[in-house]
Structure 1
Amino acid sequence: MLYKNIHIGKYIKEMVDHKNIPIERICNFLGKDEEFVENVYESQSIGTDILLRWSKLLEYDFFRLYSSHLILYAPPAAANKNTTPKSDTTPQFRKNIYTQEIKDFILNRIESGEMTQAEVIKEYSIPKSTLHRWIQKKR
């Protein structure tokens, strides 16, 4: 799965098809009509409240797709960036948290020859030692 361009409606439709959920159940759960559901399948993005309902219905965390995108494609933080005041209590995005899906995605790109280790390190800002540790564990 590529995390760069997310078409959430396509992923929702795939999961509905995979789980064989009838349209009537979907409409009842969401409190919407069939036209709304079809529009969701065509939508590249939807509201978080609706996405949360879909996640519950399909028992799949669709927000993880966006988290994976951030891990892979967010620009690296500046090393000496000190613009955040210490009293700031908002959650900070940590780029050093890699899910198993992300690790598998990266390792599959290397194994398939799509990317070299050096390209992965440069493109995704993954430390060389971290990448080598993943490769060793996979063997």
Structure 2
Amino acid sequence: MNFKNIHIGNLIEKKVAEKEIEISRICKFLCCEEDQISQMYKTPSLDTELLLRWSKLLEYDFFRLYTQHMILYAPPASDENKSALNKLSSLPVFRKNIYTKEIVDFILELITTGEKTIPEIILQYRIPRTTIYKWISKHHKKN
């Protein structure tokens, strides 16, 4: 999975095909016509309310794809921004350094295919060296 360039319409279309959901059910659930569904499959982004409805219908968290993108590609906060983040906010605060199974698999795939070296991954994604080596040791134990 390429978390850098997310084309949500294509991903939704793939999930619909996997779950074999009839177009009539989709149209009824989303309150729209068949041609609108086809148009959604072609669009790279969707309104969040609509994406939430798709997530419920397909029982898949499409928002997590964007979360993974943020973990891998968002620039680190500057020192000024870090102190601002420590102030109380009315919005929930999420830790950025939580790595999901998909992220771990993605990073390990980059290493095993030789697409990136461990130092390149450390620099590009800011994942600590010890974390990567723990993933590698656990992965080898499973295989």
1:127 is aligned to 128
The residue that corresponds to 1:97 in the other structure is: 98
Matches of 2:131 and 2:86 in 1, distance apart? 30
Percent sequence identity is 53
SS of the residue corresponding to residue 83 of structure 1 reads helix
Structure 1 unaligned spans of 5+: none
Q: CA deviation at 1:99?
A: 0.5
What is the TM-score normalised by the length of structure 2? 0.91
RMSD across aligned positions (CA): 1.4
Counterpart in the other structure of 2:69? 69
Instruction: Tell me how far apart the structure 1 counterparts of residues 60 and 103 of structure 2 sit (CA, whole Å).
Output: 16
Q: Find the aligned partners of 2:128 and 2:62 in 1 and give their Cα distance.
A: 27
Structure in which a larger fraction of residues adopt helix: 2
Q: Which residue of 2 is the match for residue 138 of structure 1?
A: 139
Q: Unpaired runs of 5+ in structure 2?
A: none
1:85–1:130 CA distance, 2 compared to 1 (3 A): closer
Letter in 1 for 2:54: W
Correspondence list, 1:20-59, <5 A = 20-59=20-59
Q: Which amino acid aligns with 2:43?
A: S
Q: What secondary structure is seen at the aligned counterpart in 1 of 2:39?
A: helix
TM-score, normalised to structure 1, is 0.93
CA distance in 1, matches of 2:54, 2:104: 26
Per-residue CA shift, 1:3-40, capped at 9, x if unaligned?
Answer: 00111000000111111111111101111110110110
C-alpha distance in structure 2 between counterparts of 1:90 and 1:138, whole Å: 36
Instruction: Tell me, in whole angstroms, the C-alpha distance in 2 between the residues paired with 1:49 and 1:110.
Output: 37
